[in-house]
Amino acid sequence: MNIFRRSIFLYVFLNMIFSPLMALAEETPKVETDKYTSSVVCGKCHEHIYNRWKDSIHAHAMDDPIFNTAYNLAYRKTSGAAKNICLPCHAPTVRFTGDFDEKLPITKEGVSCDFCHTVKAVDLKASDPYIKEIGLVKRGPFKDGKDLKGKHEIAFSELHKTAEFCAGCHEYKSQNGVSIIGTYGEWKEGPYPAKGKQCQDCHMPAIMGQIVAGSDAGPKRTINEHNLLGGHSLMQLKKAIDVKVININVGEARTEVMVDISNMGSGHRVPTGTPTRRLILNVELSGAEGRVFREKIAYEKILADMDGRELKDESEVMLGGPMQILKDNRLKPGETRREVFTFYATGAKLKNVTAWVDYVYSPFILDRTTMQLEMARDSMAVR
Ligand code: HEC
Ligand code: HEC
Ligand code: HEC
Ligand code: HEC
Ligand code: HEC
User: Distance from the CA of 155 to the center of ligand 1, in angstroms?
Assistant: 10
User: Domain check: are 121 and 172 in the same one?
Assistant: yes
Point out the domain boundary residue: 203, 224, 245: 224
| Residue 351 near residue 383 (C-beta atoms within 8 A) | no
Pocket test for ligand 1, best of 33, 35, 36, 45 (most atoms within 8 A of CB): 45
152 lines ligand 2 (CB under 6 A): no
Output the ligand 1 site: residues, CB below 6 A: 29, 31, 37, 41-42, 44-46, 113-114, 117, 138, 140-142, 145-146, 148, 151-152, 154, 156, 211-212, 216, 218
Pocket test for ligand 3, best of 111, 112, 239 (most atoms within 8 A of CB): 111
User: Domain check: are 220 and 248 in the same one?
Assistant: no
Please report which confidence band the pLDDT of residue 21 belongs to, taking 50, 70 and 90 as the band edges.
very low
User: Domain check: are 101 and 204 in the same one?
Assistant: yes
Q: Read off the pTM.
A: 0.92
pLDDT of residue 367: 60
pLDDT at 27 over 50: yes
pLDDT at 24 over 70: no
Distance CA 340, CA 292 (A): 18
- Ligand 2: nearest atom to the Cα of 56: 5
pLDDT at 113 over 90: yes
User: Domain check: are 180 and 110 in the same one?
Assistant: yes
CA separation (Å) from 373 to 25, 236, 362? 47, 12, 12
145 lines ligand 2 (CB under 6 A): no
Closest CA to 231 of 281, 294, 273, 290: 273
Domain assignment of residue 187, yes or no: yes
Structural domain count of the chain: 2
Which residue is closest in CA terms to ligand 4's atom 30? 230
pLDDT at 351 over 90: no
Rg (the chain; Cα; Å): 26
Give residues with Cβ within 8 angstroms of 334, minimum separation 6.
190, 191, 263, 264
Closest CA to 228 of 196, 205, 195: 205
Please report which confidence band the pLDDT of residue 148 belongs to, taking 50, 70 and 90 as the band edges.
low
Pocket test for ligand 3, best of 132, 166, 266, 364 (most atoms within 8 A of CB): 166
Mean pLDDT of 155-162: 96
Domain assignment of residue 65, yes or no: yes
Of 121-135, 226-240, 259-273, the range with the lowest mean pLDDT is 226-240
pLDDT at 2 over 70: no
Which residue is closest in CA terms to ligand 4's atom 10? 266
Q: Strands, DSSP E only, in 237-276?
A: 241-250, 255-263
The tens digit of pLDDT for each residue in 283-318 reads 999 987 788 999 999 999 999 999 999 998 899 999
| Residue 346 near residue 288 (C-beta atoms within 8 A) | no
Domain assignment of residue 291, yes or no: yes
pLDDT of residue 11: 43
Distance CA 373, CA 380 (A): 22
pLDDT at 274 over 70: yes
User: Domain check: are 157 and 240 in the same one?
Assistant: no
pLDDT of residue 220: 80
User: Domain check: are 77 and 129 in the same one?
Assistant: yes
pLDDT of residue 214: 75
60 lines ligand 2 (CB under 6 A): no
User: Domain check: are 241 and 267 in the same one?
Assistant: yes
Mean pLDDT of 67-83: 95
Ligand nearest to the CA of 161: 2
We report the CATH number of the domain holding residue 310 as 2.60.40.10
User: Domain check: are 52 and 137 in the same one?
Assistant: yes
Pocket test for ligand 2, best of 41, 117, 148 (most atoms within 8 A of CB): 117
User: Domain check: are 302 and 168 in the same one?
Assistant: no
Of 42-46, 122-126, 188-192, 274-278, the range with the lowest mean pLDDT is 274-278
pLDDT at 230 over 60: yes
User: Domain check: are 186 and 316 in the same one?
Assistant: no
Closest CA to 320 of 67, 84, 76, 108: 84
DSSP reduced 3-state for 146: coil
Buried/exposed 341-370: b ≥16 CB within 10 Å, e otherwise: bebebeeeebeebbbbbbbbbebbeeeeee
User: Distance from the CA of 147 to the center of ligand 3, in angstroms?
Assistant: 31
Mean pLDDT of 203-208: 92
Domain that holds residue 76: 31-224
Domain assignment of residue 198, yes or no: yes
The tens digit of pLDDT for each residue in 131-140 reads 999 999 999 9
> Strand order in 336-343's β-sheet?
241-250, 255-263, 336-343
pLDDT at 260 over 60: yes
DSSP reduced 3-state for 317: helix
User: Distance from the CA of 357 to the center of ligand 4, in angstroms?
Assistant: 17
Domain assignment of residue 311, yes or no: yes
Pairing of strands 255-263, 241-250: antiparallel
- Ligand 5: nearest atom to the Cα of 315: 35
User: Distance from the CA of 160 to the center of ligand 2, in angstroms?
Assistant: 8
pLDDT at 226 over 80: yes
User: Distance from the CA of 46 to the center of ligand 2, in angstroms?
Assistant: 10
pLDDT of residue 358: 94
Domain assignment of residue 183, yes or no: yes
